[in-house]
Structure 1
């Protein structure tokens, strides 16, 4: 199984295990719309959308995907958020006619980049067309499974941050470049919206996710790796890979705005790297 196979929809990526909840009830859409940065009301059956759950101060409490299952919404998140995100959502289920059920372990998530298979869910998890396959433990994966290093290369090359490594509760969604696909600026109110809207009106954040590239990486440094700019500490490289075909180095980091918005040269373990802002600044999902 090759890189080309993965990019042409002939292989799938193992994205499990994931924390998974089922939200049901007549008020499920209204409730979740008031808890996330995404316009959940715009979802249609068979579609999934990226979103963030934020605090009143706009900091991220969860990096989630929401799937429209017809009579319910499925919410999935990194497994390490299972103990905190469920109670966080349940705490606000007061007057809404909705029920949140933890169904972690009932299904495993596989993703196929580049195509849409029958009975799958349309989801751009790697900021490109693709589909999710939620399979029960006794179901067989219909495609070859990509090696973990290929899946990791796809994630980094597409500029998709990983919760707990590249981003976390210390970040605001715009710092993680979530406006590409996870923030709607036209929906109704949600917890943290005032902060996110203020950032949009200002026009920038002080630091931001950026991709880094180098033509001659040599051995990749242990992570996290300190980043220097003009001999001063600028941040840390948190994810890194070699391109499966070209051997070039690619990485992710959250850097100060001056480096994240303008192509700049930085140094990592004595090797020159360049920031690649356009690789992560894509249009956000239409609201």
Structure 2
């Protein structure tokens, strides 16, 4: 992510008719054409996203494995170069300070997170360095994301390289047009997905090459408005919406971010206590808002606003965190935190606005594991 918070391609995108907006502290495309059409292209074929709102930093040094393993919530000792995982940095009280993906390279870990979380994550880890021989430093990398069932051949044709069968978070280094790049498999949408990381100088070349292949694969350039509706359908929590410093692992259902066998880490006692109890008092759930299906392009009024309260028999039991019209389901859907007693699928709730809603299990749609990040 650029220090300015502006995508290196922002001016180019604007010249091509994109509408720009702020997302995780960066100026990136909000939409190129119709967000619903962009959304459906990802589900049917593939979409191309400027992920300059993401940021990467390196953790290097001979103590890096031991250090990171004892601080974050997931297992990194078992990661071989070319493998990765999803993890969180917790407070001693078990609340989520930051979430990130950890990728093991030959001589370092590369951690990737949203740009507005990067400094917080670096400082949060850095405060635990005492005599450890580790070094944390930001990386000047930018990401282009390829999402959808045609994303793998699209990446292959774009970079002129065979993409091996990678597990989720698998990655490898290669070159394109004289620039070092890293290919990472990661779904942000519930579809098969990849990211290509490259320097600012190499970003336009990768974007242009991908756009040149777009007609072959039914690919559309997509903005963060489509990314949000895809994310919500896939039930993926986002920091700043479903996740913050008050959220706990079990509430958000982020069990894929935790190793229950690795031993001690910051916040582990609280995570284990919640697991032993068998439940959290709050749970992230899906909501189907029972309102007429909107027309394809114009929508049917606004979806529930983040923070809108949820009621059961007149009693407040939760609130909405994210909501959208789902092009895939042709329904208005939402993510929400509700009290445990209101979290069972099929539970009927009402919004403060008066609209009816029913609780449903997450994800609404996915070809990848639930809550995949």
Whether the TM-score (by the shorter chain) exceeds 0.5 is yes
Distance 1:199 1:246, change over 3 A: closer
* Count of residues paired in the alignment: 282
Which residue in the other structure is 1:111 paired with?
145
Distance 1:41 1:8, change over 3 A: farther
Preserved CA contact (<8 Å) 1:24 1:98 = yes
Deviates more, 1:127-136 or 1:188-197: 127-136
Larger CA Rg, structure 1 vs 2: 2
Q: CA RMSD in A?
A: 2.5
- Once the 2 structures are TM-superposed, how far is the Cα of residue 127 of structure 1 from its aligned partner? 5.4
Distance 1:4 1:80, change over 3 A: closer
Find 1:33's aligned residue among 27, 47, 69. 69
Preserved CA contact (<8 Å) 1:216 1:249 = yes
| 1:62 alignment partner, SS class | strand
- Once the 2 structures are TM-superposed, how far is the Cα of residue 272 of structure 1 from its aligned partner? 0.9
- Structure 1: segments with no counterpart, 5+ residues: none
Q: Does 1:255 align with 2:331?
A: no
Which residue in the other structure is 2:42 paired with?
6
Q: Does 1:214 align with 2:298?
A: no
| 1:3 alignment partner, SS class | helix
Mapping for residues 28-107 of structure 1, pairs under 5 Å: 28-103=64-139, 106-107=140-141
Preserved CA contact (<8 Å) 1:47 1:121 = no
Q: TM-score, normalised on structure 1?
A: 0.88
For residues 31-67 of structure 1, give each alpha carbon's deviation from its aligned partner in whole angstroms, at most 9, with x where no partner exists.
1111111112233333332111001111111111112
Distance 1:8 1:132, change over 3 A: farther
- Once the 2 structures are TM-superposed, how far is the Cα of residue 9 of structure 1 from its aligned partner? 5.5
Which residue in the other structure is 2:314 paired with?
231
- Once the 2 structures are TM-superposed, how far is the Cα of residue 162 of structure 1 from its aligned partner? 1.5
- Looking at structure 2, the residues matched to 200 and 135 of structure 1 have their Cα atoms a distance apart, in angstroms, of 40
Preserved CA contact (<8 Å) 2:304 2:320 = no
- Looking at structure 1, the residues matched to 345 and 282 of structure 2 have their Cα atoms a distance apart, in angstroms, of 12
Q: Does 1:123 align with 2:198?
A: no
Distance 1:127 1:95, change over 3 A: farther
Distance 1:151 1:284, change over 3 A: closer
Find 1:146's aligned residue among 208, 218, 222. 222
Distance 1:50 1:8, change over 3 A: farther
Preserved CA contact (<8 Å) 2:58 2:111 = yes
For residues 95-133 of structure 1, give each alpha carbon's deviation from its aligned partner in whole angstroms, at most 9, with x where no partner exists.
322211122xx1122333345443511224445542222
Q: Does 1:187 align with 2:271?
A: no
- Looking at structure 2, the residues matched to 69 and 8 of structure 1 have their Cα atoms a distance apart, in angstroms, of 33
Which residue in the other structure is 1:274 paired with?
358
Distance 1:222 1:214, change over 3 A: closer
- Looking at structure 1, the residues matched to 309 and 234 of structure 2 have their Cα atoms a distance apart, in angstroms, of 22
Q: Does 1:162 align with 2:250?
A: no
